[in-house]
Amino acid sequence: MKYRVAVVGVTGYSGLELMKIVLRHSAMQCVAVMASDATGEKPLGEIHPELRGVSDLTCVPQSPELLGSMQVDTVFLCTPNIVSYEIAPRILSQGMRVVDLSGSFRLKDGESYSSWYGFQHLAPELLSIAAYGLPEWNAKTIARARLVANPGCYPTSVLLPLLPLVRAGMLDPGSAIVCDSKSGVTGAGRSAKLDMLFGEVSENFRPYSPIKHRHAPEICQELGWDLGNFTFVPHLLPVNRGMLSTIYVSFQRPTTGRDIESELRRRYEHCRFVRLLGDDRLPELRAVNHTNFCDVGWRLTFGGRRAVIFSAIDNLMKGAAGQAVQNFNLMHDLEESVGLLEGESVAIHG
């Protein structure tokens, strides 16, 4: 059985990455690709030359009503925050399911959107039903959801290594967590920006949006951590893709590397896309790029009272399109890895 899907916002980097997965996914039939009115009607291969000869789909202006008439089952939204906020309710009202790659439904507190995202969120009913799409932690909720809020790439890289330690009560609850994260330039999107020009990025390295980045409240919400004790500083790497986070934490009591590994392994032993490297190897971009894996390593300091934890993901895969497909698989009772591993075939749970 193939589910009829559509991708809205196909022109960006995440849209391209998602299309490459969707077109090879054995349980998906892509029946529509859409973008803003400014894009107009164009063959998909003209927008993304990589897809020439792979797909004969034509991109058309986004229209939830048109999707409804095409009997689409699930819509992937790779659209800007405000666009997802505006069109997701119209898609849901017609009985379709939504996996939203923007930040429009990640925060549960609607009043937070004005300060962090720059628009007023007036759909609290959707915030209450949106499943936070971190599959390793919310699989059961995602499986029942009609609306899934795909996590941000930075939050994914921080939450996967930290959540087991926080939930187990290992961290000092009054201590500060410091996240020093670095991303390739595709994390900034495909629209033209002066500070993203080759001459600005090449042979350069810089922080951006320190302290006040919009992903900070998302991370703290999921960790249950006080935003006042959380420092998040993202940096821009002079590479296309990949994300590495270095996280500094303090423990309630002296902790060993075996303690950390035991807790992480207990939480992730059945999770296909989290790889634990222990305290003798370190994550690196080339090991995760073009995959849906998250690699996690760590080092202890101060006699086991503190640790530096490292994680690496591909910001376009586990940080966006790959995780969106992982969520789709859960929503349709498929194995999480379908379409995300070479040669992986459809398998249905139960």
**Catalytic residue positions?**
153
Q: H/E/C letters for each residue in the chain?
A: CCEEEEEECCCCHHHHHHHHHHCCCCCEEEEEEEECCCCCCEEHHHHCHHHCCCCCCEEEECCHHHHHHCCCCEEEECCCHHHHHHHHHHHHCCCCEEEECCCCCCCCCHHHHHHHCCCCCCCHHHHHHCEECCHHHHHHHHHHCCEEECCCHHHHHHHHHHHHHHHCCCECCCCCEEEEEEECHHHHCCCCCHHHCHHHHCCCCEECCCCCCCHHHHHHHHHCCCHHHEEEEEEECCCCCCEEEEEEEEECCCCCHHHHHHHHHHHHCCCCCEEEEECCCCCCHHHHCCCCCEEEEEEEEHHHCEEEEEEEECCCHHHHHHHHHHHHHHHCCECCCCCCCCCCCCCECC
Query: 214 and 117 in contact (C-beta within 8 Å)?
Result: yes
